Amino acid sequence: MIDALVVPMQQGVFELLLSPLFWILEAWYWLLVQVYHVTGLEMLSPDYRFMYRAILVGLCIGIVAPLIGTFLVHRQLALIGDALAHTAFAGVAVGLFLNAILDLGVSPYLTAVVVAVIAALVIELISEVTDAYNDVSMAIVLSTGFALGSTLISINAGGLSVGIDQYLFGNLSTVSPTNAVILLALFVAIVGTVAVTRNQLLYVTFDETAAAVSGLSVNWYNRILVMLTALVVVGAMQIMGVILVAAMLVVPVAAASQLSRSFTESIYVSIVLAEAAVLLGIGVAYYGRATGGPVIVLVAVGIYVIAVLAGKVRTALTGQTAPSTGRIEVNRAPSTGDKHE
Amino acid sequence: MTRFNGEALSRETAADGEEEEWKEEEWKKEEKKEDSRDAREAIIELDDVAFGYTATPVVENVSLRIDPGEYVAIVGPNGSGKSTLLKLVLGLLRPDRGTARLFSQPAHQFDDGSRIGYVAQHASASKSMPITVREVVKMGRFPHVGFGRLGASDREIVEEAIGTVGMSSFADRRITALSGGQRQRAFIARALAGEADLLVLDEPTVGVDADSVAAFYDLLEALHGQGITIILIEHDLSAVTAHAERAVCLNREIYFDGPTDEFTPENALARTMGATAEPERETT
């Protein structure tokens, strides 16, 4: 445990700032060792610490991806995750390029965060300035990001032999302690921001014009949402890969929409479904010796199909149709009391 | 509310002194009424407003004052600038010329969103969004609580607003599963939960069945009776004349602004709806 504090300090200011999160990582190792002793599951063997980190990252993604995805899907921005994942790929390429040329030793995931956040703001800017629909701005940014990433990698020393597959398809075994801690930091930032701005994000998602009339700065909340999306995408990219990362933003939310009666419930249900997909997916990938990201997505899609069928069955059983018009109780005056809080 | 035309009245010559005296008294009464109205805070004041998305103006020469407690319908054909005028009024657009004031502040700087309830034809969210009537109505309290959470008093106000529009038994229903008329009632409940002074409705009855439309206007009349100022964008002229107190006919410019019972006889309707006659600004 002491090593967890001392070693990061030796590695510089960045690690020093993240040292509390390294301590959490150590605590997580300890917890899973106890689970291993109780269950005897091979994938939780203390010899496979990379699995501990993969599970931690997966569980965090299982919370933040549907949390942000719920707002995106209902704003009909499901594909923005895909666009930002491709720009995050460009960010990874920038990191690899700088490391190869200048020997900076910077984590490609950090450059991916920076580039993805900038790309998120560019998407919003294009929408605001040109009045182009969001899918147009997303298509432009997606193509540009992937083109930039491919170009940088192709001119990098060693060309495509820099192990780019792990970024494209994700890899459970390559989640380093530093990357796991970066993900924890992103997790805290994302959950904290949504906890504070939930009301505003919900209002803007449901009715943008009414939200603007009520005094909210719609453009600012749109920017916050796309920046949070960029952070989720970079975090999830480690195990999901660029190509599949959008699935975690969309599929659990789509499944939850079939089963939930309210917005709040849909957030909780989507998180539960995402966590189920992550844990089952990691387990199946480990024992089936498959790549983690694709298996997680396949499990999530399986859950979605079951949710659709369950939703249909429930509708058939309850027979819910459009209700009849209710009576207007116009004799009851609306509150005219003082403004509250 | 018909604008008082003192100049026209003064030009009229009385046949005898009694009539002249009577007119003088009427003139003073009207002037007094104008003064007292000026002393009150106008909800909306537009002064010679013009706006265009391109070089061609969508609205121009628009001057309009709406006082507290009025029930005003803005009517005009498609493309007449009704929705643009509404956006100018609400501060969502800034005029190219003239001034737009909302609650005595420049409309685009107005920041007390809780005073305005806005009801559109549709919400912008996807139809699959699982959101209940109660959750929608709670949004009315968001300007009051900011980044905080709704307290017990907020929840009480929300339930009261839901009850006021007759939606208590639908509070836990998904709003997308409701009929058009019921959805609009939920949006009005959201405005009531915000304790809005001004209710702005942008063609709220489009796609709503006839029975629901009638119930909807009953609700608006009841709310108006309780002192809420209502601005209604509508192109159903029969609904306007039957329910609103004052009609403002717009087709880029204002062709008529007066009581709805003077609306049709003035022939403003034909001009507003596309005839080529020269615009006549104020009709008394």
Chain segment A21-50, per-residue pLDDT in tens:
889 999 999 999 999 999 988 888 888 888
Q: Summarize pLDDT for A265-287 with one digit per residue, the tens.
A: 999 999 999 999 999 999 999 99
What is the pTM (predicted TM-score) of this model?
Answer: 0.80
B145, A341: Cβ pair inside 8 Å?
yes
For A324, counting Cβ atoms within 10 Å of its Cβ (0-12 exposed, 13-18 middle, 19+ buried), the class is exposed
CA distance B167 to A210: 20
Closest-CA residue in chain B for A267? B130
In angstroms, the CA A56 to CA A297 distance is 17
Q: Please report the pLDDT score of residue A123 as a whole number.
A: 84
3-state SS of chain B is CCCCCHHHHHHCCCCCHHHHHHHHHHHHHHHHHHHHHHHCCCCEEEEEEEECCCCCCCEEEEEEEECCCCEEEEECCCCCCHHHHHHHHCCCCCCCEEEEEECCEEHHHCCCHHHEEEECCCCCCCCCCCCEHHHHHHHHHHHHHCCCCCCHHHHHHHHHHHHHCCCHHHCCCEHHHCCHHHHHHHHHHHHHHCCCCEEEEECCCCCCCHHHHHHHHHHHHHHHHCCCEEEEECCCHHHHHHHCCEEEEEECEEEEEEEHHHCCCCCHHHHHCCCCCCCCCCCC
Q: Could B118 and A216 be called an inter-chain contact, meaning their C-beta atoms sit closer than 8 Å?
A: no
Inter-chain residue contact A328 with B153, CB threshold 8 Å: no
**ipTM (interface pTM):** 0.79
Q: Alpha-carbon distance A49 to B8, whole Å?
A: 92
- The number of residues in chain B equals 284
Q: What is the pLDDT of residues A46-82, one digit of tens each?
A: 888 889 999 999 999 999 999 999 999 998 888 888 8
Backbone angles phi, psi at B64, to 5 degrees: -155, 135
Mean pLDDT (whole number) for A97-107: 79
Compare CB distances from B135 to A262, A328, A336 and report the shortest one's residue.
A262
Q: Which residues of chain B have pLDDT under 70?
A: 1-40, 123-125, 207, 264-284
pLDDT of residue B257: 87
Distance, in Å, from the CA atom of B107 to the CA atom of B95, rounded to the nearest integer, reads: 10
Q: Is the pLDDT of residue A243 over 90?
A: no
Q: Which residues of A touch B156 (CB under 8 A)?
A: 335
Percent residues over pLDDT 70 in chain A:
85
Q: How far is B280 from chain A (nearest CA, A)?
A: 32
The answer to whether the beta carbons of residues B209 and B215 sit under 8 Å apart is no
Q: How far is CA B75 from the centre of its chain?
A: 10
CB–CB contact A210 B112 (8 Å): no
Q: Which chain A residue has its CA at the smallest distance from B173's CA? A: A261
Confidence of residue A323 (pLDDT cuts 50, 70, 90): very low
pLDDT value of position B211: 73
Beta-strand pair B105-106/B59-66: unpaired
Q: pLDDT at position A58, please?
A: 93
Q: How far apart are CA A112 and CA A149, in angstroms?
A: 11
Q: Number of residue pairs across A and B with CB atoms under 8 Å?
A: 174
As given in the structure block, the two tokens for residue B281 are 């600004």
| In the predicted structure, residue A334 carries a pLDDT above the cut 50 | no
**What's the rounded Cα separation, in Å, for the pair A330 and A220?**
38
A74 interaction partners in chain B (CB closer than 8 Å): 125-126, 128-129
End-to-end CA distance of chain A: 45
Cβ contact A197–B147 (<8 Å) = yes
Query: Residue B98: its pLDDT value, please?
Result: 92
- Yes or no, beta carbons of B135 and A207 under 8 Å apart: no
Q: What pLDDT score was predicted for residue B269? A: 58
Per-chain mean pLDDT for chain A? 83
pLDDT of residue A160: 47
What is the mean predicted confidence (pLDDT) over A292-321?
A: 86
- What is the reported pLDDT for B156? 93
Give me the pLDDT at residue A338, please: 33
Nearest to A263 among B135, B146, B181 (CB): B135
CB-count exposure of residue A105 (10 Å: 0-12, 13-18, 19+): exposed
pLDDT at A336: 33
C-beta atoms surrounding A134 within 10 Å: 19
B63-83 pLDDT tens trace: 999 999 999 999 888 888 888
The minimum CA-CA distance between A192 and chain B, rounded to whole Å, is: 12
Please list every residue in chain B whose beta carbon sits closer than 8 Å to the beta carbon of residue A261.
130, 132, 172, 174
How far out from the chain centre does Cα A339 lie?
Answer: 38
Q: What is the pLDDT of residue B26?
A: 62
Give the whole-angstrom CA distance, residue B162 versus residue A334. 9
Q: What structural domains does chain A harbor?
A: 2-318 (1.10.3470.10)
Residue type (1 letter), A273 = L
Distance separating alpha carbons of residues A82 and A139, to the nearest angstrom = 10
